[in-house]
Amino acid sequence: MTYKIGDIVTGVVTGIQPYGAFVLVDDEFQGLIHISEVKSGYIKDIAEYLEIGQEVTVQIIDIDEYTKKCSLSLRSLSQENYTRRYRKKHFFTHPHHEIGFQSLADNMPAWIDEAMTRLSDK
C-alpha cells in the first residue's frame, strides 16, 4: 500500500528502546515513534505508555521512500493540550507604580551639569 505524510494508520509495536518504539504498519512498512512524539511533555520511560504487541493508531509525519521506513506520531492525534507553565515575572520596581521614564527626566539636568563640570575641569 502507498502511504503519504499525514495518513493515519494502525500498526503493532514490535520493539521498545529508550529513544522510541518500533511499529510494524504492514509487511513492508515499518516506522519509529520517537519518545518526543508519544505525548506532550516529559516522558521518563516510554514503556509506561507503550508495550510490545500493543496495537496503536498513529499519524505518519515523515517517510523515507528508499528504506520504506517512516516517522510516526501519537502526540499529533491526542486531544490533550499541553500548556507550559511560565514562571511569574519579578519586577525590580513595584508594578503598581507606573512612573515610567519620569525619574530619568527628573534627574537628567543634574547629570548633564555634573558631566559638563567634569569635562570642563580637564
Mind listing the pLDDT tens digit for each residue in 69-115?
899 999 888 876 666 666 776 666 666 666 667 778 888 999 999 99
Q: Is residue 98 part of a domain?
A: no
What are 39's three cell numbers?
505525548
Residue 64 lies in a domain: yes
Would the pTM count as exceeding 0.75?
no
What is the structure's pLDDT at 98? 66
Q: What is the CATH number of the domain that holds 38?
A: 2.40.50.140
Residue 7: closest CA among 27, 34, 26: 26
Q: In this structure, are residues 74 and 37 in contact, taking their beta carbons and an 8 Å threshold?
A: yes
Give which of 57, 49, 63 is closest to 3, Cα–Cα. 63
Amino acid at 20: G
Would you say residue 106 lies in a domain? no
Alpha-carbon distance of 24 to 37, in angstroms, equals: 16
Amino acid 35 reads: I
Q: What is the DSSP pairing of strand 69-73 with strand 55-64?
A: antiparallel
- In the predicted model, is pLDDT for residue 120 greater than 70? yes
Domain tally for the chain?
1
Instruction: Judge whether residue 19 has pLDDT over 90.
Output: yes
pLDDT of amino acid 102: 77
> Quick check: is 73 in a domain?
yes
| Mean pLDDT to the nearest integer, 37-47 | 89
**Per-residue pLDDT for 39 more than 80?**
yes
Quick check: helix, strand or coil at residue 107? helix
